Structure 1
Amino acid sequence: MKRQFLPALLALSLLPAFGTVTDLSGPAQAAAPQQRTQAPGFYRMMLGKVEITALLDGTHPFPVHEVMQGIGRAGADALLERSDLHAPVEGSINAFLVNTGDRLVLIDSGAGVLYGKDGGHLMANLRASGYAPEQVDEIYLTHLHRDHVGGVDAGGAMAFPNAVIRVNRRDSDFWLDPKNRASVPGYLGPMFDGAIDSLRTYVAAGRLKPFDGEARLLPEIDAIPGPGHTPGHTIYRIRSGGQTLLAWGDIVHVAAIQFPKPDATVKYDSDAASAERQREQMFAEAAKNGEWIAAAHISFPGIGHIRRDDGGYSWLPANYTTDLAPATR
C-alpha cells in the first residue's frame, strides 16, 4: 500500500523546482521580429508528361467600381460580399512556365516594372522555382497589355536573351503601331507604350515572330484565337497524356463577379460584346469537358476547374499538393 503514495510524494518534492520555472515566465528578453515577406511565388503541377509551373509576378488592387461594366456598384458589392471581399480587390498577375521535356515555354511575362511595386517579381520567382531566364526557349503572349508583356524587358535589354516571342499578329499589328492610339480611349494609350518599349529589343533582333489565327506552335501547344479583350487575344491549349490545360489570359479579371455573372465586362476590353461571348463559351466548354484552367488574374496560382452553377459558374481551385509525378527525363 505504501508504494501507492510514492508518486505523490515525488511530485510534492518537485514543486519547488517547478515553482522556479514558473517564476521565470515573464516578458520575452528578445521578441522575434516580424518578417513581413511571403514565400516564393511558384507552384508546380504535372499535366501528363508536361510540367507546369505557375509564377507570380505580383498582386495589385483592382478598382472594381471604376473598371467593371455591365453590373452596377450595388450588384458588384453584393457579389464581392458573397466571397468576403470588398473593392478594391487584390488581383494576382500570374504567368505559366511549360516544360515539355524538349522546350521551355513561358506563357505571359507579368508587368515587370510597368506596375511599380505591384509587379516585377516574376524573375525572382522563376529562379526560386529552379529555372534561369537564359533557359527559356519561347514566350507566348496571350495579348500585349502591359501586365502581360512588361516582364520581357530588362531596362532596355532582353530579360530572356535566348527566347523567341510569339503573339497573334492582330495584337502585334495593333499595339505596336502608334497610329492606332487615336482609335482607343485615352486610358488605353499607355498599352501602346508598354508593348512598344518592352518588345523593342526583340523586334530589332528578329525575335518577335507573330502567328496568324489558330496555330500549332509545338506538338503539345496550340494557339486558339479568343478576340474581344484585345483584337488578337489568344488562349493557349496544352495537351499531354489525355489531359488538357487552357492558359486563357484575360477571360476573367474578378472571379467573384464574373463567374456568377459572366456578362460583366471590363472597360479595358477592345470589344466588350466579343469578350463576353468568349467568356460564356470558355466557361461552358471548360465546365463540360473538365479541362484545367490557368488564369492570369485569379488568385495565385490561378489553376483550377470550372463548375456550372444555377445561373452561372464557380471556380474550383486546384487541390494544393506536394506529390508530383516522377520526372520523365
Structure 2
Amino acid sequence: MERRRRHATIIGSVALLAVTVGCTADGDATATPAGQSTVSAAPAAAGLPQVVARLQPSVVTVRTGQGLGSGVVFRDGGLVLTNEHVVGDQREVELALADGTRVPARVVAADAVTDLAVLRAERTDLPPAPLRAELPAPGEPVVALGSPLGFLNSVTAGIVSGVGREIPGSASQGNALVDLIQTDAAISPGNSGGALADYSGRVVGINDAYLPPQTGAVSIGFAIPVATAVDIADDLLDDGKVTQPYLGVAVTRLTAEIARSLGAATDRGVLVRAVAGDGPAAAAGLRPGDIITGLAGDRTETLEGFLGALRGVEPGQRLPVTYLRGSDRRSTTVTPTAATR
C-alpha cells in the first residue's frame, strides 16, 4: 500500500538544550523533548470564546496510570490523536470529555520516533475537530487547548513564532522531531497531544513539547503540523507502524534577502540550513547554503512543496534533486535511509 506522508526525518537535531515534553501532569516529565499558507481572517476578539467553545468538545484529556495528557478527536468513530509519550506503554486509557463525562479508550498504535499515537474511544459520537492542512504563517495568532497540570479544558493564546523547526536534542534521546510549528502560546505538562488552533477554530497542530525556563527560554513551545500528524496516523491505522525516510538535511524558507546574499537568481526554493556529515544528503554532495528547487520530480518552490514531495518516499528510493549553488544550477541523487530510534 502506498503511504501518504508529509513527515520525514530530515536531519537529526544537535543536542544543545534540554527540552521538556508537555506530557503527563504528574511531575515526571523530563528532558526530551511549508509554499503559501491560506490564512483565514481572524474573527474579532469578542468571537474567540465562541470559537473555543465550538472546538473544546473535540479536545479530550487522556488519563493514564502515570498521569494525564491531552488529545484531539480527528476522525469519526471515536478516533483520537495524542502523543506517544502521553500513553507510554499503556494499552488502555481513559478520556475525560469537555462535558465532564469519562469514557474508556484503547491505544490502537503508537510510534516513538514521531511521538504520535492513535486512540479509539468506546464512544463513537465524539465530534472530530476541523483540521487545516496548510501551515500557519509566522505571526498568525493561535490558541492552545488541553489540560496543563490537570487544569482541564484550559486555553492559552499566542502567535506562530516559526515553522520548520526541530526540537533541540530530540535525536540524541531517541526521537527525531522536525518540521514543527513553534509558538509562544503557553504549553505546559499536560498540554501534550492537545490542539494548536487558528482563530477560525481549525486545528493546525498537535502540541508536543516546550523549552523549560531553566534553559533561558520564555514561551517557546512546539506542535506537530496536523497534516503531518494525520498522515502518520493513517500509517499507524494501516500498518501499526511508521517507517520514516532519513535525508540528513535541514531546510528552511528561502527569502529574497537570503537569495540575494547567496547570489542566487531566484528566491523560489528551500534553503539548506544544515547537513548531517554522515547522512544521505552529504553523500549526494549537498552543502549548507544550497537552494533545493526540485525533489523526486516535483518542484520545491516552497517549504510546503518540499515536504509535499516527500509524501510516499520510502527508504532506499533514489530521489533526483535539482538545486542552486550560487548562480550554478546542479543536480544529484539522494537515497534516504530508514530513520533509527
Higher strand share: 2
Q: Which structure would you say has the larger Rg?
A: 1
Report the TM-score range of the alignment, normalised by the length of the smaller protein.
Answer: under 0.3
Higher RCO structure (Cα 8 Å, ≥6 apart): 2
Higher helix share: 1
